[in-house]
Amino acid sequence: MSPPISALVEEHAHPGSVTGGGKSRLRLLTYNIQTAVASTRPHHYFTRSWKHVLPHFSSFDNLDRIARLASQYDVVALQEADAGSLRSYFINQVEYLARRGHFPFWCHQTNRDLGKFAQHSNGLLSRIRPSMIEQHKLPGLIPGRGAMAVRFGHHDNPIMLILVHLALGRRTRQRQLDFLGELVCDYEHAVVMGDFNCAPQSREMDRLLTVSKLCEPTQILHTFPSWRPIRNIDHILTTPSLKVTNLQVLNHAISDHLPIAVEIEVPETVQLLAN
């Protein structure tokens, strides 16, 4: 299902926006922001657990710090954002970050709607005009996981970005990754980015890489937990047609995850839409 155009906010085009083909580069970022609850030590899961239910003014400071980081990138994938509930002062955190980061386009996908108590959402921030956004509910016994398919450029030769947050259970993840494999298998230029909750060497991830054109990561990037990263569960996967540089984990410890950033070279045959 595609969101209405009103889900995209258009403000002033950023000076660094890409508006056409050629050897342009896109800076991508993926970040599980844990609803702007600062968790930088193990005991914070207990001492700050109330912040996942009740509002706390420090969330605005945390969001502002995230916005300053995000503003350095062209496309940002967000996981564990809140689309407007009690704990976020009924503020859509994706929209807040879009405005603070001066992104002309944004979209949120609420996957677990708990009414006024929580609006668990994925989010997209973009300086590039999408030509299409589709929202998909991922398979699973317990609903609440989703993916956004975002097309940049004309339909005949686009870059397809899939923004994801996958389940904790391996069997459910397997079904979700099979679903994602079907989404990207027909695209020459594709990126899948987000919180996968599994390592590239896992059986379910290996199956995705086998059925799709996505490449296995060339680096082991540990992102979780942010205070002592020992697990590589956040990823930016690309097809071979996209030249990748500057893939790195960023030392930006607010959430219990660290963000991952990368630059990709836009193929000359891809025409991105002007703002």
Query: For 180-202, how does the pLDDT look when each residue is reduced to its tens digit (9 = 90+)?
Result: 999 998 899 999 999 999 999 89
Round to whole Å and give the CA distance between 90 and 116: 8
Which one, of 198, 196, 205, 194, lies nearest residue 260 by Cα? 194
pLDDT at 43: 61
- Average pLDDT value for residue range 42-69: 78
Half-sphere exposure of 80 (CA within 13 A, CB side): 23
Whether 234 and 1 have beta carbons less than 8 Å apart is answered as no
Residue 97, pLDDT above cutoff 70: yes
Q: 144 in the Ramachandran plot: left (φ > 0), alpha (ψ -120 to 50) or beta?
A: left
**Radius of gyration, CA atoms only, the chain:** 17
Round to whole Å and give the CA distance between 80 and 195: 10
Amino acid identity at 142: I
- Average pLDDT value for residue range 147-169: 95
Residue 37 — very low, low, confident or very high, per pLDDT cuts 50/70/90?
confident
| Selection from 43-47, 96-100, 205-209 with the highest mean pLDDT | 96-100
Residue 19 — very low, low, confident or very high, per pLDDT cuts 50/70/90?
very low
Report phi then psi at 105, rounded to 5: -130, 135
pTM check: above 0.75:
yes
pLDDT at 125: 98
Pairing label, strands 75-82, 25-32: parallel
- Facing residues of 215 across strands? none
- Average pLDDT value for residue range 13-42: 70
Residue 36 — very low, low, confident or very high, per pLDDT cuts 50/70/90?
confident
Which one, of 190, 141, 188, 189, lies nearest residue 164 by Cα? 190
Report phi then psi at 128, rounded to 5: -105, 140
Residue 105 contacts by C-beta under 8 Å, 6 or more apart in sequence? 8, 9, 10, 98, 124, 125, 126, 127, 128, 129, 130
